A and B are shown apart, each in its own frame.
Chain A
Amino acid sequence: MTHVAAPLPDGLSQEQMDAEVAKVQAGTDGAVHPPRGFPPYRSSTLRHPRQPLIPVRDPEAVELSGPAFGLTDVTALDRDLTRQHAGEPLGERITVTGRVTDRQGRPIRRQLVELWQANASGRYAHQLDQHPAPLDPNFTGFGRCLTDDEGRYSFTTIKPGAYPWRNHVNAWRPAHLHFSLFGTAFTQRLVTQMYFPGDPLFAHDPVLQSVTDPAARARLVAAYDHGLSVPEWSLGYRWDIVLDGPSATLFEEDR
């Protein structure tokens, strides 16, 4: 089957996109988070506020507390995405583990970590994903776990494939895992993506490049850790996560 995609609205080539990204990055200042308006990521154009955010420095703010999760929300099997169907999923079996802390380095204990991803072919189990790569009947691609008392999380899954998207001509996302994290406060909420080391698509991906500071981008890339690999079973990656934002305990210590 030959695959012919409909033409893209502005038909920008990868080279033109890379140049546009470089130009935008040159005018930025090393912020940790991506700017909400990042023109090379076309979907951001109409979906970010143009007014400045209003600062809230109120120690009574409800957002300094946050939702709680526990035993009833997660089962021990949820952390293993390769055990959700009758058979083994296709792909390279991996484990991903790390610590979740706040900005002060304190562990985020007993909090919810959610992970979702494409399968080994780069296809999501979502009906709107029409990438002509096979679905895997043995892989859904969603897991969750609670951090332990040291803030550690751990997942067993398969390495996802890269996939195309319609941001510009020949746009491909590097392989990534989507993560959702809760801290002790709603202000520490984080949704992000973890990447795999050495991916040649990094330089061509406006989503990763929206983090304009190279050192900040590097914090989205896991490290291969041979000590975490299990003989004749799986490859191990380590990725630590630091949640931004104040919490009620932080305000108490500041006063």
Chain B
Amino acid sequence: MSLVPTPSQTVGPFYGYALPFPGGAEVAPVGHPDLITVHGYVYDGAGQPVPDALLETWQPAPDGSRGGAPGSMRRDPVTGRIVGRDGVTFTGFGRIATDADGHYAVRTLPPGGVPYLCVLVFARGLLHHLYTRAYLRAEEDALLSAVPAERRGTLLAVEERPGTYRFDIRLQGPGETVFLDFG
């Protein structure tokens, strides 16, 4: 059986009271010694920051397991409100809305077995989300070898200081980020 997929539509401007959740950017367990920070800006085709983008990150645990874990959006049983993670479990999933200046930051653990975080971009104006990868090491793999050399750098996060990586996303124009098609 082959079914025709449901079309995508934009996330629009008003997801902010619904999709972001407390602790969405705190993927690493609290106080973990291997914590890394990946941060940067999202820019549009005029080089302006995008203040209403929503990013999601997905990655293997440091041991390489790819099953993730529930508990990113734990609930308070009294109020029903989202209280976020338990500070112990690594769920592999992050969700971060950009700030008014287009900046995001996610604190996580190094992905096991691969050099990259998977990154998904939603925004008003984007009718269909975009996938990219933030490579923490320039380790040759199937994707990096397939990307023209002059665009490869857009996938590489820059280690600003130990454990802090800068990864900007340019939706359009000079230095446009490489986005991916999984078919």
Contact = CB atoms under 8 A, between A and B. Distances in A.
Interface of A: 32-36, 38, 41, 43-51, 53-58, 60-63, 65-75, 77-78, 84, 101-105, 114, 116, 118, 124-126, 128-129, 140-142, 178, 180, 186-187, 189-193, 207-208, 210-211, 215-217, 219-220, 241-246
Contact of A46 (B16, B44, B116, B141): B44
A211 B114 CA distance: 36
Nearest to B77: A75
Interface string B1-22: 1111111111111111111000
Contact of B71 (A53, A54, A72, A75): A72
Interface in B90-109: 91-93
B6 A54 contact: no
Contact of B80 (A38, A77, A215): A77
Interface of B: 1-19, 44-46, 48, 50, 56, 58-60, 66-75, 77, 80, 91-93, 111, 114, 116, 118, 120, 122-131, 141-143, 146-147, 151, 171-173, 176-183
B59 to A, nearest CB: 6
Given A77-B80, A193-B9, A63 B58 contact: yes
Contact of A55 (B17, B18, B181): B181
Given A34-B7, A45-B45, A242-B3, 13 more contacts: A41-B127, A53-B179, A54-B146, A56-B146, A62-B114, A66-B58, A71-B70, A73-B70, A75-B80, A124-B17, A187-B131, A190-B6, A242-B4
B179 A124 contact: no
A66 B69 CA distance: 10
A101 B70 contact: no
Contact of B127 (A38, A72, A128, A142): A38
Q: Which of A34, A49, A63, A104 has the most CB of B within 10 A?
A: A49
A126 B80 contact: no
B70 A47 contact: no
Contacts of B15: 116, 178
Nearest to B58: A186
A218 B111 CA distance: 41
A187 to B, nearest CB: 4
Contacts, number: 247
B91 A67 contact: yes
B95 to A, nearest CB: 9
B14 A128 contact: yes
A62 B50 contact: no
Nearest to B48: A46
B108 to A, nearest CB: 13
A77 B181 CA distance: 37
Contacts of B56: 189
7 contacts: A62-B118, A68-B67, A68-B70, A73-B72, A114-B18, A193-B12, A246-B183
A193 B10 CA distance: 8
Contacts of A217: 7
